[in-house]
Structures are given as C-alpha cells and as structure tokens.
Chains A and B, each alone.
Chain A
Amino acid sequence: MALKKLDVRGAKCPIPIVKAKKEMDTMAPGDQLEVTSTDPGSVPDFQGWVKTAKHALLKEQRMEKDEAGKDLYIHLLERT
C-alpha cells in the first residue's frame, strides 16, 4: 500500500480536485493520497466530492502551518 503526495499549494478550485481525481485514477485499491492545499474551500469540496466518488474515501482532514505561518489544508484520501 503506497502513500503518494500531491502538492496543490496556491491552486484554487477546481484544480485540487481535478488533480486528485487524476492521480487517484492511476492508483491501486488501498493506496493513499495526501493532498496539500492552501485553499480553505478545498475542505468542504473534498467532503462533497467523496460523497459521490466511486473510488475515493476521505480518511482524514487536518490543518497545518507552512514555514511562513500560512494555513495548509491536508486531505488524506484512500483509493477503494
């Protein structure tokens, strides 16, 4: 089970989900993807997306700060 990382800092919607979906399509069931975003809107949007997503589960969402103190929104997804 691999863990992949996807950095979409600075990108606004729809980019974080477009890229996450593209990445997830290449992964095997059980693999995880950690998405790092600076867009606060990505939090409800990932929650909304996994409701209808056929092969994605949202395992965790958390907030961190980067070196400059800017808020980061981290989404951990699992390919099902």
Chain B
Amino acid sequence: MTDTPNETSESQVPSLEVGALLPRLDRGEKVLLLDVRNDDEFETWKIEPHRPVETLHVPYFDFIEDAEASIAKVPKGRDVVVLCAQGGSSELVAGMLQEAGISSANVKGGMIAYGLYLEPVRVPLEAEAAARYELWQVNRRGKACLSYVVVSGEEAVVVDPSRHVEWYQGFVAERGARIVRVLDTHVHADHVSGGPGLARALSVPYFVAAGEGFELKQPVTPLADGETIRLGGATGVSIEVRVLSTPGHTPGSTSFLVDRRHLLTGDTLFVASVGRPDLGGHVVEWGHALFDTLKRRLADLPGETRVLPAHYGGIGEISAEGVVWSSLADLRRTVPEMQIATADAFVAAVRGAVKEPPKAYAEIIQVNLGAAASEERISEWELGKNQCAASAKKAAGA
C-alpha cells in the first residue's frame, strides 16, 4: 500500500492534448501555464499562443527536492496547465498539485507533441476561385513551419509536408480527394521533410530540386522551370500549379504558383524577410542567386500575387484571417532586403545579419537528401523553432 498513493494520484490527473490547449490559449482563456522543464529548455523554446499566456517556471526537480516549497509557489484557485519536454515530469507535478487541492491538467506529450502538432488554416479565396479549389496552410505551430495542401476536384498536391505524413493522408481523404503528387520547395535544413515518405506511402511522384553540390539519394520525378501541373481529375473543375525555379536559399529552391495568384515561396521570400543563403558554405554565390531571384525572377509576377512562405518568424506575422501571407506588392515595399538595389550590397547585408544555423542542419540536410536516421535522433534535432530567415529577431526571443 505504501507505493500506491502516488500511482493513484497520477492516474487521476486530467490530460490535455496540445490541439485542445492551443485554441483555448489563442482565445485568451485565463489559465496559468506551469512550465517544469529545466532553465535552458525553458529559455530556448516556449509555447507561443496567439495571445500572451501567464507562465510560471518551476523545474520539476524542484518539486522532487522540496514538494511543499514548490507547490507553495503555485497560486491557489487557478486553473493550472502543466507542461514539460515529453509529458512525464509534468504528469508527476500535476499529480502533486491535484493532491494539494490545486486544479491542474497535464499537457500530453509536452513540447514534443507541441512540436509535431499541425493546425490547418483555410486560405480565403474569392468566390470564383473557391469554386475550383481549396488552399490550406498547415501551420506546424511549435516550429513555425508552414506546409500546404491544394485540393481541386478529386485531386490534391501537398507542398513541404512535415514528417507527420499520416496527418496529410487523413486530411486529404476527409476532403474526398487523393494526393496525386508531393512537392518540396527545397532541401530543408531545419526539419525533416515528410515528402519522400508521403510519396512512397502513396506511390505518387515526389519532387525536390537539390541543385548543384547536393547528391540526392532518393527517387525524384523532375519538374522543369515553367512546367505546369494540372489538378482536378474527372470532376470538371481544375487549376494549374506552375513550377518556378527560384534559387538562392538553396541552389535548387523552387516556388509553386497556384492558380496564377498564390505563390508558395518556400524559404525564398517570407512575409518579413528573405531566406538565408548561408547554409551551404557558399553565401556569396547563393546570395547573388537569391538577389537575382527576388529582383528579376519574381519581378514578372503581378503585385497582387499572394506570397505564402514555408516559415514565419513570430505570431505578429499571422494575419487576422489566421494565415501567414502578404501581397508581393507589399513585400516589395516592406521587406528590408527587398529595398537593396545592388547584388553586392544585398549579399553584404544578409551576411551581416547571419544568425546561428539551425540545430543539426548538416545532418538534417543529409536525411532530406535520402540518408537514414532514427526517429529518436530526428526528434532531438527538431526540438525548437526554425532559424531560416535572414533577418528578423531571434526566433527564440518572444
């Protein structure tokens, strides 16, 4: 009987899925978030709801060392939500709080689950376009990574999927369509792509352009610059997705122009910055290519073209509709790097602004080129937010 009270109390701890917690925090519900990770983990990566959330940080080992003093730090009469890295320590702490009469719930799976959680946001389209297709921006909130699902009639393409591939299969099936092609805008350096795995699971073509200096170790169905993919199937409705080669962030970077108006730019152009060209050790060469892409290749596109990138830097970049997007005209006017007139000054500016590279980026690039890695390793590499923009404040700083 001596060991059981602990176990009983743990099993009584209500658990909360990330997908249930985030909308509550986004609405500004008055919960108290108790983060029980160690100091470093807490400082470098925080949960980021659309509205600020009152957060208390007391590491779980403080609760183990001195339960009474630690519990006393948690105000009574509040709804407490306890969060840790993987959900184990927060469950222990939530149990201790429950026993002390403080209403608390455990965030199931902790920051790992937060890092994997995908939130689909429907991009508003004009009525004429909405009759022909749906465009979904899938926001991986924990990493500020954006992927896309385009559905027209019974066919869909997925662009830049994260490695949670079953999610995309289920999501597209719910819309009564099937995925006919999987596209990556580039060889990602900050997260492991779900592209090859998703294409393999469905036996559909996969596209990524690695570009010079990279050896792709997995099957790819090439697409040429300017080529068009038609979606729709036998339903009478259809749209076109045009392939645009936009090198710079990587030599193979590609953008996809959906229905002539939505440009999925990957890491070429964000809504507050441009992609960093320094992750391959050729910052001058790639920087010049990026300048050429931004100033010349994208110059032909009309200003009303909507840019939808693969990342965002903070919640301030999310529009009122919940979408991370902007018009090309606005970006030409507001993005600092877009104001620079010469290639040399552009390269100097992006070089000067260079931040820490993403964690384990060299290894992640290798996996995205086709090398094998264990789930455990990938999970460890992917902790934390992205670092893909050339400028803007450090992603970790809230």
Contact = CB atoms under 8 A, between A and B. Distances in A.
B41 A13 contact: no
A10 to B, nearest CB: 12
B86 A13 contact: yes
Given A14-B60, A45-B38, A52 B66 contact: yes
A41 B86 CA distance: 10
B89 interface: yes
Interface in B156-192: none
B198 interface: no
Interface residues of B, number: 18
Given A13-B84, A13-B88, A21 B60 contact: no
A13 B85 contact: yes
A44 interface: yes
Interface string B24-38: 000000000000001
Interface residues of A, number: 17
Contacts of A48: 38-39, 59, 61
B38 A52 contact: no
Dominant SS among interface residues on chain A: helix
A12 interface: yes
Nearest to A39: B86
Contact of B88 (A15, A44, A54): A15
Given A49-B62, A52-B65, 15 more contacts: A12-B86, A14-B64, A14-B92, A15-B88, A18-B92, A44-B40, A45-B59, A48-B38, A48-B39, A48-B59, A48-B61, A49-B64, A52-B61, A52-B66, A54-B66
Interface of B: 38-41, 59-62, 64-66, 84-86, 88-89, 92, 380
